[in-house]
A and B are shown apart, each in its own frame.
Chain A
Amino acid sequence: MIRMLLRVLGDEYARAMRRTVILMTITAVVEGLSYALLVPVLRALLGGTPADAVPWLAAFGAVVALYAVLRYISDLSGMRVGTTMLRGMYHRLGEHLARLPLGWYNAGRIGEVSILASRGLLQAMGVAAHLLAPFISALVTPLTIVAVMAAFNWRIGLAASLAVPLVAVIQGWTARATAVADAERHERDTEATGRVIEYLQAQPVLRAGGRTGERFRLLDDSLREAQRASRRTVLSVLPGMIGLTLVVQAMFTVLLTLGAYLALGGSIGAAEILAILVLAARCADPLLSLSDIGGKLRGARSELARLETVLRTEPLPEPPEPIQPAHHGLEFDAVTFRYGERTVLDKVSLTVPEGQRLAVVGPSGTGKSTLLQLLARFYDVDSGAVRVGGVDVRAISTEELTARIAIVFQDVYLFDGTIEDNVRLGRPDADEVEVRAAATAARLDEVIERLPGGWATNVGEGGTLLSGGERQRVSIARALLKDAPIVLLDEVTSALDPVNEVAVHEGIERLMAGRTVVMVAHRMRTVQRADRVVFLDGGRIVEEGGHDELLDHGGRYADFWNISMAPSAQGRG
């Protein structure tokens, strides 16, 4: 556990952590040793010479004072290390998340990372601040007491130390048994959460079928599965807990019996054996608390494991000697890209000369957006190469590549801030005039006029206070301001109402002028104006050529075009 913590933390914090552990161990040893003084005190008190107890009692008081100081220092040290680590880990995680490839972030990840970076991290780091001291003390203090007992009477010490290997075996065994059950439980819980979300989102249609509550079997089954898994977890913890209690109690019983036997045989003084039994009682309590602490440690451990998985994910490698692209042409050279088991792109080759426009058309789910993502190096290809200006994107520095490409996505994410902040993101050092010009070109100025706060209007988290079309205009203004030579458009106009569509089209037209463009489009009318069209299906290019050429060809593209054009002519006719 601690080894895992140290690994996640890195060398930086390992030293402070080790120091804290040593300090806590010393504190626990001092506590155990302080009990040794109880024996002479009790011997004097019970043996009829109470006055002899006073110096021993004074010594005991002194050791308790030492213990108090040590404990305060080690607690404080634990807290300090805990908060320093917390800060360090937040920074480390933040830096790491910013470097991970964009392809790593899918819908599920967002929720997972959000939880991990807020509560998860706190729980994992809480180990040092809250759990470490009780854990160390529960282990070390009893061991010290056993040593003390052995010093007073070797037979009793030997009997007590028999419990040590048993406790160790049981702890190890419980940890393994519960790890399996915990993993299963986590999986079932995730499954159940998924079903709950599904159940909530599909409410309208579920009600139409009368499938709410327990009548929605899929949900109810997963809830019951989650319950069964949690019961299995409990059952897997229980034997360990009982075993531990059994061992500790058996030890106490043995000491009680052995003590009685020795005392009756006269080989040990009554006062002495009673004092030793008081020590034995002190030994049992902390050991019994081990199973409770163990459970909490396991909780922190699974968070730690998740943290480690994220931190171990490799960012895309940076080229050691980056090359500058010579021009703004684009090229796919026999590119194959797999996502899990699925081959998304299968030996795709195509070129876009500088300043030309390529439209990518095809049924949904055939890898169109992936083409754009590979150009921006959200992922790396499995084989073949993607080249920008004749240079493999893997040989261009991230900064250089990002500077050359402007992307407009279908879903626009705006940061919580003013409209101006969000436009400026395109080029933070742009001056006032440039920002205003970009906004006008994207027809964002109309939107801004309508808004109560104008340029300073806050857009809310994710830009929720603006409509989809208005957000799209912000994103186009952003891209215009960036003024990058390569423009990638991903289904930009497919989710707009007519009024916004006109505005967005104008903005897009200005954005595309004189630049190398790759656009994924559903609206066939947008496609018409491309220099070349590729029709993608099943990860392969099935048709390629100019719009008219492909229409004459009468293949898949022509079908697509006819489906989308025919009825609208009918409607107006």
Chain B
Amino acid sequence: MTIPIDEDRRTTTTDLTRLAERSMTRLLRPHLRGFTAVVLLQVVGALAGLAPLLAVVELGRALLAPGPVDHDHVWTVVIAGAAGLLVRLLFTAASSGIGHVLDGRVQLTFRRQLAASLGRVPIGWFSRRRTGELAKVVGEDVSAVHPFIAHAPGELVAAFVVPLVSLIYLFTVDWRLTLITLIPVVLAMALVPLLMLPARTREQEAYDAAMGRIASSVVEFVQGISVVKAFGGGERAHRTFLTAADDFVSVFSRWVRGMSVIAAGMQLALSPPFVLLVVLVGGTALIISGGLAPADLLPFPLLGLGLTAPVAALGHGFDDLQSAGRAVNRIKDVLAVRPLPEPTHPRPPRGHRVELRGVRFAYDTGHEVLRGIDLVLEPGTVTAVVGPSGSGKSTLAQLLPRFFDPTHGSVLLGGVDLREIDNRELYRQVSFVFQDVRLLRASVADNIALAVPRAGRHDVVRVARLAGIHDRVLRLPRGYDTVLGEEAKLSGGEAQRISIARALLADAPVLVLDEATSFADPQTEQAVRRALAALQGDRTILVIAHRLETVADADTVVVLEDGAIVERGVPADLLTRDGRFAAFWRSHQSAETHGGAPRGDEPR
């Protein structure tokens, strides 16, 4: 059976990026009305903010006009100015309020979408990512989008619209003085390219790299602190951290120094005293030469300052927007991960015979971990896989619950390729106990019933007894309702027993069990054996075996070496054949007797 999955694999990254972009726009579309409201309210509010300034201008015209002053006109102007302020207050507050509420909603949508999408990617994908980094994407990175949503639309638009309107107004008053008023803006803009010189970019890169070194050296410093302390002389990590810190500070000050002259120049050009100086020098010259009526000067010192807003906004919000952009890219990357393909026409498996046909598997790096595995697991039998670490045992086991899809060949359950089985159905058929047990911060009962949400308390208690954890649970503060991680903490072995109880409750016809390099304590080892005994019958069981007794009890043993099966058969037969398995058996026995012999008997 060939599945046309290879076509899929060839989908280019750009397609995926486009896909992610589409999904981002789709996420934002329902909020379009909200965004429009934010922008409109902000623009109206900001424009209304011009009213009081224009009121001063009009007041000036009225007072400076020859002849008696028109009192009514003056008061109308004052009232208009006050009304403008009120409108500005109401509209900008509404815009900001709506913007932030919208921001919260969009963030929730993003987080939900990320969670959903992470719930669909191949489980194997997680093994090559740091959980912390992914959690950072869902948490911090989504939060970093904040300026994009809450500030950029309204404030940026306002920062451009208002100066534009002012500019047009000023042009109608006097075009020459308007051009003079623009001098500071032009000066500041002229300095912008200097901020983007290659030397500056290099400094920015050096800065990022130095920050990265600090982060990794502090992780090493803190994680290795027990070694640092236990070995006294181990000041190495400490020194590495301080060196990284010093490096960073010197890069940082170089960066700041390089920027500061230009930045200071820009800030000075845009600063109110400088702008006023330019306007007044120009205005004085024009008035003295008789080209400008004194009343026409007034709008310039009042509105001219606002012309610098777009440049200031660019400089000011730029860093935030840049980091928001980087965060959005990381979010997109996660959304772009191809989900484990779901079958369009799922087929139900017939029975629970498991078959691997010519299975090859390679991780992204290209290193082939499994190289042509043919293996049949019959219902009602236990198959033990043994082999040195790195031989591909864990990968083999993970193919059954479809953590990955094989690169070549296929895995069949009840005669149907796993890729054609509905995911929910697959998980009902295959349950697993793997090494790293994860308990949720939830009640003991919920933790056990995780895979079977509808299970009753009676069933939960039954499997807990079988897994040898019932007595321990009763000793917890609130028994099965105790919230793990909050009210009580279980040891590694106890967590493993909870995980065994989970698998027992799931009661799936196929069980994959990684016996783990070790079960943490004797009770847990016992629980595993009891569980295996209880589960046998018609089940198909695959065990990655580490203990001789498990191997001895298995119906079939498969010896895996470097991704290929080198021996298989009934354990007793293999022992007599004196091949790889026999060698493995002997090394185990020596380990056990080595550990087990009384001290005096030991050859030294």
Contact = CB atoms under 8 A, between A and B. Distances in A.
Q: Do A and B come from one complex?
A: yes
Nearest to B423: A207
Given A114-B219, A365-B489, A199 B115 contact: yes
B382 to A, nearest CB: 13
A425 interface: yes
B385 to A, nearest CB: 13
B43 to A, nearest CB: 17
Contacts of B224: 413, 415, 462
B578 to A, nearest CB: 18
Given A46-B294, A415-B227, A498-B546, A364 B135 contact: no
Nearest to A76: B260
B521 A363 contact: yes
Nearest to B449: A209
A238 interface: yes
B364 interface: no
Given A249-B85, A571-B548, A270 B595 contact: no
Most A CB within 10 A of own CB, among B53, B55, B116, B220? B220
A200 B126 contact: yes
Contact of A234 (B100, B119, B452, B548): B100
Given A203-B126, A207-B427, A45 B521 contact: no
A415 B295 contact: no
Interface in B102-127: 103-105, 107-108, 111-112, 115-116, 118-120, 123, 126
B59 A259 contact: yes
A326 interface: no
Given A50-B294, A256-B78, A216 B52 contact: no
Given A213-B119, A274-B59, A426-B231, A502 B594 contact: yes
B534 to A, nearest CB: 15
B453 A572 contact: no
Contacts of B92: 245
A482 interface: yes
A409 B47 CA distance: 68
B237 A200 contact: no
Given A224-B108, A253-B82, A497-B389, A478 B231 contact: yes
Interface in B424-443: 424, 427-428, 431-432, 434, 436, 438, 440-442
B242 A91 contact: yes
Given A45-B297, A200-B134, A502-B590, A110 B223 contact: yes
Contact of B108 (A46, A83, A114, A227): A227
B452 A245 contact: no
Interface string A114-153: 1001110010000001000000000000000000000000
Interface in B218-245: 218-238, 241-242, 245
Interface string B289-322: 0000011011001100100000000000000000
Interface string A241-275: 11001100100110011011001100000110110
A433 interface: no
Contacts of B112: 213-214, 220, 223
Contacts of A462: 220, 223-224
B29 to A, nearest CB: 19
B89 A50 contact: no
Contacts of B163: none
Contact of B231 (A111, A273, A482): A482
A193 interface: yes
A525 B132 CA distance: 38
A257 B78 contact: yes
B403 interface: yes
A173 interface: no
Given A91-B242, A281-B56, A524-B522, A425 B132 contact: no
Interface string B499-510: 100100010000
A252 B301 CA distance: 16
A505 B135 CA distance: 39
B451 interface: yes
B314 to A, nearest CB: 16
Interface string A465-486: 0011100000000100010000
Given A54-B284, A270-B63, A365-B490, A563 B522 contact: yes
12 contacts: A42-B301, A45-B280, A193-B135, A195-B441, A213-B116, A227-B105, A263-B74, A425-B233, A426-B231, A494-B518, A563-B526, A570-B549
Given A208-B431, A212-B116, 13 more contacts: A61-B277, A75-B264, A197-B132, A199-B118, A200-B126, A205-B502, A259-B59, A263-B69, A270-B64, A469-B389, A567-B526, A568-B548, A568-B549
